[in-house]
Amino acid sequence: MRTLLRSLIFTLSVFGFQFLQGQVVTTSSMIDELIDLRKLSEYPNPGFHSIQYSSYDRRTVSPDIPGWFSNSDGFGGEPIPGFAEVLKTPDAKGIGEYLICDVKGPGAIVRLWTAQISGDLTVYLDQEKVPLYNGPAQPFFLHTYEALLKENPRNEWTGSINQNMASYYPIPFSKGCRMVYKGQLSDLHFYHVQLRLYDSGAKVKTFRIEDIKDGKTRLDHAASVLTEPFKYLDTVLFDAAYETIWLKPGEKKLVKSLKGSAGIKRIASFITAQNMDKALRQTLIDIRFDGSPSGQVQSPIGDFFGAAPGINPYESLPFTVFDDGRMVCRYFMPFKDSAQIFMENMGDQEVTVVAKFVTEPYEWKDDISMHFRARWRVDHELLADPRQVKDIPYLLIRGKGRMVGAACYLLNPTSVPSSSGNWWGEGDEKIFIDDNLKPSFIGTGSEDYYNYAWSDESLFDYGYCGQPRNDGPANRGFITNYRWHVLDNIPFEKGFDFFMELYSHRVVEHFSYARMIYTYALPGAHDDHMPITKSDVRHLLLPADWWPEAAGASGNSIFYQVETLLSKPKNIKLVEDPMWSAKQMVLWSPESKSESLTIFLPASKTGKFRINMTVARTAGAGKMQIFLDNKLMKFNGSEITDVSTPYRSVARNISSDNVELTEGMHVLTIKSAGDQLLPIGLDFIWMQIL
């Protein structure tokens, strides 16, 4: 009996110790975390804090010291090397060694990002003499496991575990991680390294290359879910009943009241209104947990689902938006006693909301379970000015919890048509955790935070990041970016402050900057959220009339509206919209293969030119070939230009090879190049003198 009692006491003590210390962290357990949204709703056990090492400009020290907005962050030749330490000064060939990070204790690599990094990288785990990796830096940053296996990137992990220019291959370690870069400081060396640093005593099993083979089934499953989350995760929606809510202008309704301890597993919504863009911004969702007098979730419904402005289809792990307007949220939202979901119409039109709310049983755990929070805010009429860079606050929260996502919704009414010149996001994220006066995260550019680079205008969506809207040309117009922090979530024990610099290439007036932060927090947390006003949710429009400006990469250009250059136009119509220069775009709908569109193009002098065209990429559009003086030209390196896009119309630039022209009139001829005769949209042409 005594032996049995001692055995029972020992078992209970071990179980209690493991509960206090958390389960053992392994590569497999972290792979599972890649797609575990439910786990985010409980404070991490074992506990950890997050830190990011990056190539940020080291003159960024404090907001009250010159250099706070410095921007030399990986291009090469920065005044202070963008590393933690210079280990070996450059040799005769200019090659030196530089410390990226050297952390002690248990932890894990959870995110790597690079726009481009030359040189070599050496990675040591647990102070071992033999490195885990020693080779070219870029493959490790983008396709970590394949680099370790010395393989080419695997298709099933590209776009899933790797997402655009970031990778989420987990690498846990029990005693430490050291990363050393070897290369020339004059070369490009952009990098982010995000780490978890676990509490002392946490049990972490150090990564070994064999873990990749052992975890392949898990990895492939996680990759499939990240690629097609609706397919793998949303069968629960088909059994749930719909709620239909009619909202008159100014009306607010309680649309769902839940009692008992449970969790909201899915919210699916579909909105109809005469003007959908207005309805998605002016219909608010307000979710209150456990008797809170105000919503822990307060946001325009379109922004909450990452769809704003308007419907912009994308698929990610926490959210999916379909082109028919259906929107799905998968963040798990637990509550102890009750939950209430309100919706409010702050617009001037009637709105119908069809919604599903899927719940499941959940046992609330005091000091562990957390309420989901989503906070939206906006600033209109900002002046974006590179001489007056601003820290834009996303959220300041006090309490204990973790940050799990961010999104921004911008109106950039610039008149410059090129990315170099109309870019809004040179600014870095700055994230302060707890009582630290120094940011735990300083980034290298707004797009780098959102997992892309080079002010890319492309529409893309991945499990954790995306740009579902970017009107163009380049980065003009309405822009939406999102990033969800799942494996790379950021815990805080006392508080969390998130800022993003607004740092534009040129002066832009009337800039609008809306943004969201998604967190979980223990009851009692409070933040700097302000009540949403009608002025906040005003209906935004592009300037009614604009004309392209020769600046940045469009400098030394002369612009021509296509409609003013046409000779004997046939089968064209002018499409009016403030998105297009001078409010008009030429839409040509050829009726035969022999038909062509003739454009007279003047050259202001004899010399070398680049011919740029701003075209309309639209759903159902065709392909074209472009001839200059009867000679087939290449635009963007191709003899055939496809101007189709799956959903939303966007303005995009195409550029010819450099050409020698004599002063006077030349002829551009546009011909349909597809198997079908489909419309082709042309906005304006710019002749760039080289």
Residues 169-191 pLDDT 10s: 999 999 999 999 999 999 999 99
Question: Does residue 339 sit in the same domain as residue 454?
Answer: no
pLDDT-wise least confident of 408-417, 481-490, 537-546? 537-546
Structural domain ending residue among the three candidates 538, 568, 593:
538
Q: What is the pLDDT of residues 191-222, one digit of tens each?
A: 999 999 999 999 999 999 999 999 999 999 99
**pLDDT interval class at 23 (50, 70, 90):** confident
Contact between 602 and 611 under an 8 Å Cβ cutoff? The reply is no
Q: Picking from 548-552, 567-571, 663-667, which range would have the lowest pLDDT averaged per residue?
A: 567-571
Q: Which residues, 6 or more positions from 607, have their beta carbon under 8 angstroms from its beta carbon?
A: 660, 661, 689, 690
Looking from the CA of 137 toward its CB, the CA atoms found within 13 Å total 26
223 in the same domain as 155: yes
CA–CA separation, 306 vs 382, rounded Å? 22
pLDDT in tens, 504-533: 999 999 999 999 999 999 999 999 999 999
Same domain, 32 and 90: yes
Q: What is the CATH number of the domain that holds 654?
A: 2.60.120.260
Q: How confident is the model at residue 567 (pLDDT cuts 50, 70, 90)?
A: confident
307 assigned to some structural domain:
no
Do 530 and 514 fall into the same domain? yes
Per-residue pLDDT at 114 exceeds 60 = yes
395, two tokens:
């959220």
Q: What is the count of structural domains for the chain?
A: 4
Arithmetic mean of pLDDT over the chain: 95
Q: Which of 227, 255, 281 is the last residue of a domain?
A: 227
Joined tokens for residue 130 = 């033999």
The pLDDT of residue 571 is above 60:
yes
Give tens-digit pLDDT for 278-337: 999 999 999 999 999 999 999 999 999 998 899 999 999 999 999 999 999 999 999 999
SS3 322: coil
Write down the pTM of the prediction: 0.95
Q: Show the domain range for 118.
A: 25-227
In a 3-state reduction of DSSP, which class is residue 23?
Answer: coil
Same domain, 459 and 563: no
Give per-residue pLDDT as tens, 234-291.
Answer: 988 877 789 999 999 999 999 999 999 999 999 999 999 999 999 999 999 999 999 9
Residue 22's pLDDT is what?
Answer: 62
What local confidence, expressed as pLDDT, does residue 675 receive?
87
Mean pLDDT across 569-583: 93
Token pair for 439: 């940011």
Reported as a single tens digit per residue, the pLDDT across 346-405 is 999 999 999 999 999 999 999 999 999 999 999 999 999 999 999 999 999 999 999 999
Single-letter residue type at 337:
D
Compute the average pLDDT of residues 643-658. Answer: 93
Beta bridge partners of 406: 483, 517
- Is 237 strand, coil or helix? helix
Residue 177 lies in a domain: yes
Residues 665 and 629: their CA atoms lie apart, in Å, by 10
Largest CA-CA distance found in the chain, in angstroms, rounded: 106
Q: Is 546 inside any structural domain?
A: no
Residue 9: band (very low, low, confident or very high) from pLDDT cuts 50, 70, 90: very low
Report the C-alpha gap between 225 and 217 in whole angstroms. 12
Predicted local distance difference test score (pLDDT) of residue 361 = 96
Same domain, 562 and 641: yes
Does residue 234 sit within a domain? yes
Q: How high is the pLDDT of residue 524?
A: 97
Structure tokens that stand for 16 in this block = 């209690």
Helices (H), 355-417: none
Q: Determine, yes or no, domain membership for 323.
A: yes
Q: Name residue 281's amino acid.
A: R
Residues 76 and 215 placed together within one structural domain of the fold: yes
Judge if 79 and 143 occupy the same domain.
yes
Starting from the edge strand earliest in sequence, which strands make up the sheet with 441-442, in order?
441-442, 429-433, 495-502, 390-398, 526-527
Domain presence at residue 8: no
pLDDT at residue 8, as a whole number = 39
Specify if 240 maps to a domain.
yes
Mean per-residue pLDDT, 488-514: 98
Domain boundary, last residue among 322, 341, 367: 367
Residues 463 and 518 both lie in one domain:
yes
Given a cut of 90, is residue 18 above it in pLDDT? no
Q: Say if residues 377 and 292 touch (Cβ distance below 8 Å).
A: no
Element (H, E) at 2: helix 2-21
- Does residue 520 share a domain with residue 459? yes
DSSP letters along 465-506, please?
EEEEEE-SSTT-EEEEEEEE-STT-EEESSEEEEEEEEB-SS
In this structure, the answer to whether residues 223 and 235 fall within a common structural domain is no
Helix (H) or strand (E) holding 198: strand 192-198
Distances (CA, A) of 279 to 273, 311, 647: 6, 11, 20
For the domain that residue 429 is a member of, what is the CATH number? Answer: 2.60.120.1390
Q: Is the pLDDT of residue 17 over 60?
A: no
Same domain flag for 502 and 619: no
pLDDT at 14 over 50: no
> What is the rounded CA–CA span in Å between residue 654 and residue 472?
12
Structural domain includes residue 474: yes
